[in-house]
Amino acid sequence: MKNIVLLGATGSIGDSCLNVIRQNKEHFHLFGIGLGGNLDKAQQIAKEFSPKHIFVAESHIDKSHDLLKSYPNILNTEDELQGLIQDPSVDIIISAISGFAGLKASYFAIDAGKTILIANKESIVAAGDILMPLAKTKNSEIIPVDSEHNAIYQCFPPHIDLKEISKIMITASGGPFRKKTFKELSGVTLQDALKHPTWSMGTKITIDSATLVNKCLELIEAHYLFQIPESKIEIVVHPQSIIHSMVTFIDGSTIAQMSNPNMEVPIANALGLDQRLPINFEAINFSGLNLSFEPIPDGREIIFEIAREVCNKKGNLGVIFNASNELAVDAFITKKIDFLAIYKVIQRTFDHFSCSKVSTLEDIFEYDKQARIQAEKVIKSLH
């Protein structure tokens, strides 16, 4: 029986994780959950799974909420979150908080030498230079949950020599605006951007998928997780979202991982560690299945150039890229800027900074702060 701490339990990945755990109760015990402030949903989860600990990030929690009757000692501070993650009874941490807010949890898990299932790609993008060496020192295993990265992980034979890899191909659905020219993006609304053709996900990542910045974050994530140069990572649009990524080896073989688009598949793979866990899934219907591949849509290559620069230069560039995107997405959601301005905010913020080395987590937080201030200025200038 493995004890799990699920951070981001009330979100979309949280839902999928709970579904996998629900179907494999003999293997997993939900030891703790973490969330932002959705106490109603936390209460439902607590009723079903009886976790020992609940961490709520929001500082002003409703003290009269029914959840507090069963959990009067709800964890609320960063130290308490770290204590929960470090608890010797905990085997697996699932990092599924959305955005940069998830970084501290990922850091605590890696620093504690735990097995961490990483959905929160922003942690790796912003702090890959800190987290990856730390994982090595602390002997922490990082297992990818993001469907593309979990696919690559599944395609890699055990003890792979990276020299044997010729190319990694990350697939992208292309999002709701795949067929639009760059110019046509000027008229799109928030509602249009939230209509993802193949995946159902949280709001931030859905907008990232519409801009294709999600794929840029994934390129950087893959570069860090698999220690593969960006020149060996290709992005290909695959509208059906059946192949989640492919690896080509130097002998000419390509291995692809496939499933219908359902996050429970990569989560079950990651949670199973060396074992295949049974889950209910809709099998691919191969008869009449057409798989197609296309280049990145018109005009959006520019954002990938920035992501590739992040991979090549690293240091503070990942955190700046991530912060500028988070601010831009937030400004788009709150209707302060239009869709195309998201690209401008990222580009202009990114251009404002030069590349510097980062040595500590504090450096990451400092650059995050500076990038947010700069992005806010750009957003104001675009009003």
- In DSSP notation, 195-219 reads --SS----HHHHHHHHHTHHHHHHH
Show the CA angle centred on residue 146, arms to residues 143 and 151, nearest 5°. Answer: 75
Minimal distance, residue 357 CB to ligand NDP, in Å: 25
Binding mask 71-110 for ligand NDP (x = CB under 6 A): -------------------------xxx--xx--------
Of the candidate residues 32, 34, 175, 297, the single one contacting ligand NDP (CB under 6 A): 34
Q: Does residue 146 bind Mg ion (CB under 5 A)?
A: yes
Closest residue to ligand NDP, based on beta-carbon distance: 11
Q: Does residue 197 bind ligand NDP (CB under 6 A)?
A: no
CA–CA dist 363, 358 (Å, integer): 6
> Which two tokens mark 325?
């995107």
Q: Does residue 51 bind ligand NDP (CB under 6 A)?
A: no
For residue 177, give the nearest of 191, 160, 163, 162 by alpha carbon. 191
What are the helix (H) ranges across the chain? 12-22, 39-49, 67-70, 78-86, 103-111, 121-138, 147-155, 190-193, 203-211, 213-226, 264-272, 301-313, 317-333, 341-352, 361-382
Determine the interface stretch with Mg ion among 1-9, 26-34, 146-154, 230-238 (rule: CB under 5 A).
146-154
DSSP, res 261: S
- Longest CA–CA span in the chain (Å) reads 63
Binding mask 250-289 for ligand NDP (x = CB under 6 A): -------------x--------------------------
Binding mask 122-141 for ligand NDP (x = CB under 6 A): x-------------------
CB atoms within 10 A of CB 378: 22
CA–CA dist 18, 158 (Å, integer): 28
Binding mask 1-20 for ligand NDP (x = CB under 6 A): -------xxxxxxx------
Determine the interface stretch with Mg ion among 57-65, 148-156, 263-271, 283-291 (rule: CB under 5 A).
148-156
Residues that bind Mg ion (CB under 5 A): 146-148
Residues that bind ligand NDP (CB under 6 A): 8-14, 34-38, 57, 96-98, 101-102, 119-122, 146, 199, 201-203, 205, 263
